[in-house]
Structure 1
Amino acid sequence: MNSKVYYKIEILALVIFLYAAGASAAPKFSYSYLDEAVKEFESKNSTSSVVLMEIDSGKVDYIYRPEIAVSKKLPPGSLVKVFSALTLLKYKDRLAFSPEKKVTCKGRFYPKENSTPTKSDLNTLHLPKDENGKEYLRCALAKGHGEMDLRSALIQSCNVYFLTSVSSDPDLFYSKLYEDWSLGKSTRSRLDSYIEPSDTNFNSISRLRKVAASIGEGGLLLSPLKISQLYSSIWKEGPRLSPYWGASQEPIRSEENPYSGRDLRWVASVLSEVPKTGTLKDLYIPEKGNLEMLGGKTGTGTKFMHKYETHGWTVLSFRKDRKLYVLTVFVDNGSGGNQAKSLAAILLDKIDSKSKNSAIKSGK
């Protein structure tokens, strides 16, 4: 056996060791009963990951596949539209943006002359051509959403609205999106022994990819844990907290929230409409149970450099036993409106059923 073979064996052994060590590091969660539900879902779909976090403290009460949730960065798709909305509101004067202004969505966004697709764009983005051979970015609805303002575009998850709104100054928009949401930074978590991806610097990318970043495309990569942290800061209207799971640990601020309470409250109110009339309207929500749904968002992210394959995401906020939670669901092969939403509904039902049974046993 030559040295190269020995080297490969040593590397494989190290990977197995580190994985085994990490797999045993997560504590025993009170929500570990959800494991079986996720495993059954995976058997019929694809690899998935779940994070359940307390919004007010950053305490992780449940995590499934932390090797994905903590240690991998993935394209978040339309989940970024919420970040884009807050960025547009904060810098509306500099971006010449008005949340009331209507954008007509006919299902296609044609890049402006200053954002002509580069060779890299054609390899990265799904850019079909129309009957005249001109590239465009698609919306979720082939025939379009019609007239959209910021509220309706968030609820219905309209690509064309956000692409159009940021296209006047993609450089300014992208720099503020990247900076304010710390998209290159980790959550500064305390989830031993899992390691988060290293911080990255501001990326120099094409103008079209900066436009596409408004809908979570073009190369943006975030971990499920990072998504949980950022969405928690929206519903909390407070600082971003360092995720932890140790019983003896206390909440720690990771960084301040750069957005105003007024804008955060407005966006949270819009997210509360998504399970009622938006992309989560078919989500099963337990009636008269112990859960109060506060809002949510779906996302379908294009796999980086695999422009015909997608990941599915769903993020939900709910109240249970006077605590606020954020539930982040990731499905490797799927969409937010189908597979990820389906798994989220399964988990909500399991949590609600368990809560009801506990209340009955305690005589409440």
Structure 2
Amino acid sequence: MNSKIYYKIGILSAAILLCTAEVQAAPKFSYSYLDEAVKEFESKNSLSSVVLMEMGSGKVEYIYRPEMAVSKKLPPGSLVKTFSALTLLKYKDKFGFSPEKKVLCKGRFYPSENLTPTKSDLNTLHLPQDEKGKEYLRCSLAKGHGEMDLRSALVQSCNVYFLTSASSDPDLFYSKLYEDWSLGKSTKSRLDSYIEPSDSNFTSISLLRKVVASIGEGGLLLSPLKISQLYSSIWKEGPRLSPYWGASQEPIRSEENPYSGKDLRWISSVLSEVPKTGTLKDLHISEKGNLEILGGKTGTGTKFMHKYETHGWTVLSFRKDQKSYVLTVFVENGSGGNQAKSLAAVLLDKIDSKSKDSAIKSGK
């Protein structure tokens, strides 16, 4: 046989062995019954990834497509608005910011002269032109949300509010957002044998992209695992924990939480409104079930350098059996308010049904 053929066969065999090893690396989860639900969803939609993490410990209780959830960075879209809100609150004196101050949203954000789009911005961002040929950024609601304060802007996911607030000092805003949320760093996970992307630093970007980072666009990339870690630290008002899944492992702090309990509690109360009156209000979960939804957020991230294609995200917090969990759902093609929300609802229903069955069998 030709030596080149032997060589190719060897490479193929090595790749198969590597993939097999990675598949076997993830433990058998008690929530593995969710696999079928995700596969059914994917058959009608697109590739997806799911992370279910116990917030008090950082233990990953379930993960679907760990090679995507752990090893890939993706544009998070409006999920970053929660981080932006906390950044604005923490440094409100430096920004001259007040959470009660109203911003009028008419559906469009027009960059000021100091934010004039560069060639790179035009290639990266979706910047339609109005009838006068001036570029603008769209809000999540085409006709606008009207007057928004911080609470309503986060619940209704108003782009114009956050873009306007961040534009008061783009350099300061971006540096604090990037630093406090460790957006270029890994979670320091212990999910053998999956490797997280190496740490990075993207501070050398245009002023407009620094402003657009407030809504999770402009090149910000985060993994589903990172999203789970950061949102857990918000809902638990505690440190950022190193994600793990080994039965013999213990919780480890990877970073302290730089935000005050007062601000974290306020943001948590706002996020609790999202499933009731915000972008998750159509999330259909039985009120008589064993799950208590604590809060959530949706996100629709623009694929980097593919400004007309989007990813869908939903992150939710819920309580079950006296433990609190964060569920992060990522859908490769879609939006947070539709596809990702739909998959999240299916998974929560499956978890709730299983919990009821277990309760019946145990006689509780």
- Superposition TM-score tier, normalisation by shorter sequence: over 0.9
Deviation, 1:12, is 4.9
Per the TM alignment, residue 96 of structure 1 is displaced from its structure 2 partner at its CA by 1.2
* Equivalent residue, structure 2, for 1:43: 43
Deviations 1:189-219 (A, max 9, x none): 0000000000112431000000000000000
- Structure 1 residue 230 and structure 2 residue 230: aligned? yes
Q: Report the equivalent of 1:341.
A: 341
Give how far 1:8 is off.
6.5
| Residue number in structure 1 paired with 2:129 | 129
Give the Cα–Cα distance (whole angstroms) in 2 for the partners of residues 9 and 111 of structure 1.
55
Alpha carbons of structure 1 residues 223 and 8: separation in structure 2 relative to 1, 3 Å: farther
- After TM superposition, give the deviation of residue 9 of structure 1 in Å: 6.1
Superposition deviation, residue 4 in structure 1: 8.3
Counterpart in the other structure of 1:212: 212
Partner of 1:298 in structure 2?
Answer: 298
| Alpha-carbon distance in 1 for matches of 2:21, 2:315 | 29
Q: Would the alpha carbon gap of residues 5 and 207 (structure 1) be closer, same or farther in structure 2, given more than 3 Å must change?
A: farther
Q: Work out whether residues 175 and 203 of structure 2, in 8 Å CA contact, stay in contact via their aligned partners in 1.
A: no
In 1, the alpha carbon distance for the partners of 2:242 and 2:80 equals: 20
Shift of 1:18: 2.2
Distance 2:323 2:123 in 1: 45
- For 1:315, the aligned partner's letter is V
Question: How many Å separate the matches in 1 of 2:42 and 2:58?
Answer: 27
C-alpha separation in 1, matches of 2:315 and 2:169: 29
CA distance in 1, matches of 2:308, 2:11: 32
What amino acid is the match of 1:30?
S
State the alpha-carbon separation in 1 of the partners of residues 273 and 21 from structure 2.
42
| More moved, 274-283 vs 88-97 | 88-97
Fraction of identical pairs, as percent:
88
Q: 1:205 to 1:359 in 2, by over 3 A?
A: same
Are 2:317 and 2:324, in contact at CA under 8 Å, matched by a contact in 1?
yes
Of the structure 1 ranges 18-27 and 208-217, higher mean CA displacement relative to structure 2 is found in: 18-27
Q: CA deviation at 1:285?
A: 1.6
Query: Are positions 1:75 and 2:75 aligned together?
Result: yes
What is the CA–CA distance in structure 2 between the aligned matches of 1:55 and 1:9, rounded to whole Å? 44
* Worse-superposed segment, 16-25 or 324-333: 16-25
Q: In the alignment, residue 275 of structure 2 is paired with which amino acid?
A: P
8 A Cα contact 2:47 2:331, kept in partner: yes
The count of residues paired between Structure 1 and Structure 2 equals: 364
Question: Where does residue 283 of structure 1 map in the other structure?
Answer: 283
Measured in 2, the distance between the counterparts of 1:173 and 1:19 equals 41
Change (3 A) 1:307 1:2: farther
1:5 to partner: Cα distance: 8.0
Match of 2:195 in 1: 195
Displacement of 1:15 after TM fit? 3.7
Give the Å deviation of 1:2.
Answer: 9.2
Deviations, residues 248-297 of structure 1 (Å, cap 9, x unaligned): 00000000000000000000000000000000000012211110110000
| 1:33 partner SS | helix
Structure 1: 5+ residue runs without aligned partners? none
Bigger drift between 20-29 and 330-339 goes to: 20-29
Aligned-partner Cα distance in 2 for 1:205–1:7: 43
1:17 Cα deviation from its structure 2 partner: 3.0
TM-score (norm 2): 0.97
Cα distance in 2 for residues equivalent to 1:297 and 1:241: 21
Partners of 2:235 and 2:149 in 1: how far apart? Answer: 22
Distance change in 2, residues 1:96/1:360 (3 Å): same
Q: Which amino acid aligns with 1:127?
A: L
- Give the drift of 1:168: 1.3
Alignment of structure 1 residues 306-321 onto 2, 5 Å: 306-321=306-321
- Given that residues 89 and 263 in structure 2 are in contact (C-alpha distance below 8 angstroms), is that contact kept between their aligned partners in structure 1? yes
CA distance in 1 between counterparts of 2:154 and 2:304 reads: 24
2:55 is equivalent to residue 90 of structure 1: no
Aligned counterparts of 1:40 and 1:147: Cα–Cα separation in 2: 41
Q: Which residue of 2 aligns with 1:165?
A: 165
Tell me how far apart the structure 2 counterparts of residues 8 and 116 of structure 1 sit (CA, whole Å).
51
Output the CA distance in 2 between the equivalents of 1:43 and 1:303: 22
Q: List aligned pairs for 1:98-117, cutoff 5 A.
A: 98-117=98-117
Name 1:139's counterpart in structure 2: 139
What letter is aligned with 1:322?
Q
- Which residue pairs with 1:58 in the alignment? 58
Q: Which residue matches 2:273?
A: 273
Give the letter for the 2:83 counterpart.
F
Q: Deviations over 1:144-179 (max 9, x none)?
A: 000000000000000000000010110000000000
Which whole-Å CA distance do the structure 2 matches of 1:87 and 1:240 have between them?
Answer: 16
SS of equivalent residue, structure 1 residue 93: helix
How many Å separate the matches in 1 of 2:11 and 2:167? 46
Q: Deviations over 1:305-363 (max 9, x none)?
A: 00000000000000000000000000000000000000000000000000001100111
Aligned to 2:247: 247
Q: Indicate how the Cα distance of structure 1 residues 322 and 204 shifts in structure 2: closer, same or farther if over 3 A, else same.
A: same
Secondary structure, in 3 states, of the residue corresponding to 1:89?
helix
The Cα offsets for residues 19-49 of structure 1, whole Å up to 9 and x where unpaired, read as 2211110000000000000000000000000
Q: Letter of the aligned partner of 2:66 in structure 1?
A: P
RMSD: 1.4
- CA drift of 1:6 comes to 7.4
Matched residue of 2:94: which SS?
coil
Q: Could you say which residue in structure 2 is the equivalent of 1:351?
A: 351
| 3-state DSSP of counterpart to 2:95 | coil
**In the alignment, residue 267 of structure 2 is paired with which amino acid?**
V
